[in-house]
């Protein structure tokens, strides 16, 4: 969800906003045991808070980083929950058929990148690790708390956690049985007890 909703200042707007938020919240919570949801934090920097739906417990909130994993300067203050994940969201290269190559910045651009990382992880867990990843860990990866734990394994430490899959997956890991076993064992161990 590459959007964030701020509460409007007018009372009429707040009523309509409340109904919209309630509908989105119900849809997310109704599907969150079968789907993963990612949402943009917001682009207001220190002048704005994390927006809805990114602040929902069933959603993985995504902040924007530059190409080196540094805070993009547009992120809201990190929350104390230690799940302030970032992916590339500053100067993201895009192709515009009318204009050509363009670069965009925002947590809205970082969010689909994070969803793509998660999709690749889930595809590898399903297709590549049938005997190396415990069935319970595979099941937990499909839940927001399980994917958050998986992201933590591949993220930097700090107020914002830059998700860099190569931190967990060493070069040529898929061709080396020992490296494969280590990677999936790390994930299985991290997801135990959920």
Q: Residue 25's pLDDT band (boundaries 50, 70, 90)?
A: very high
| 8 A C-beta contact, residue 108 and residue 40 | yes
Rg of the chain taking only CA atoms, in angstroms: 18
Q: How many helices (H) and strands (E) does the chain have?
A: 5, 6
pTM: 0.89
Q: In sequence order, what are the residues at sequence separation of 6 or more whose Cβ sits closer than 8 angstroms to the Cβ of residue 119?
A: none
Q: Residue 74: which region, alpha, beta or left (left: phi > 0; alpha: psi -120 to 50)? A: alpha
Question: For the chain, what is the largest distance between any 2 Cα atoms, rounded to a whole number of angstroms?
Answer: 61
Q: Token pair 């409007």 is at which residue?
A: 8
pLDDT in tens, 134-153: 788 888 888 898 999 999 98
Alpha carbon distance 112, 123 (integer Å): 16
Alpha carbon distance 21, 1 (integer Å): 13
- What average pLDDT score do residues 19-23 get? 91
Q: Token pair 């076993």 is at which residue?
A: 181
| 8 A C-beta contact, residue 88 and residue 67 | yes
Q: Selecting from 2.40.440.10, 3.20.20.210, 3.40.50.200, 3.30.420.40, what CATH number does the domain 11-191 have?
A: 3.40.50.200
Alpha carbon distance 101, 94 (integer Å): 6
Q: 141, 129, 131: which is closest to 34 by C-alpha? A: 141
pLDDT in tens, 48-69: 889 999 999 899 999 999 999 9
């Amino acid at each position: 969800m590459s959007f964030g909703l701020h509460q409007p200042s007018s009372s009429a707007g707040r009523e309509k906003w409340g109904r919209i938020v309630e509908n989105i919240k119900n849809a997310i919570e109704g599907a969150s045991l079968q789907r993963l949801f990612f949402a943009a934090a917001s682009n207001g920097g220190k002048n704005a808070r994390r927006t809805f739906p990114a602040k929902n417990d069933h959603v993985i909130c995504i902040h924007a980083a530059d190409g080196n994993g540094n805070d993009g300067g547009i992120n809201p203050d990190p929350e104390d929950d230690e799940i302030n994940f970032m992916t590339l969201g500053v100067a993201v290269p895009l192709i515009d058929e009318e204009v050509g190559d363009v670069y965009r910045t925002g947590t809205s651009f970082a969010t689909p990148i994070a969803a793509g990382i998660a999709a690749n992880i889930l595809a590898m867990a399903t297709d590549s690790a049938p005997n190396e990843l415990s069935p319970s860990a595979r099941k937990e990866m499909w839940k927001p708390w399980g994917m958050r734990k998986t992201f933590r394994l591949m993220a930097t430490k700090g107020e914002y956690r830059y998700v860099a899959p190569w931190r967990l997956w060493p070069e040529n890991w898929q061709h080396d049985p020992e490296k494969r076993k280590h990677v999936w064992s790390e994930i299985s161990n991290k997801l135990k007890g959920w």
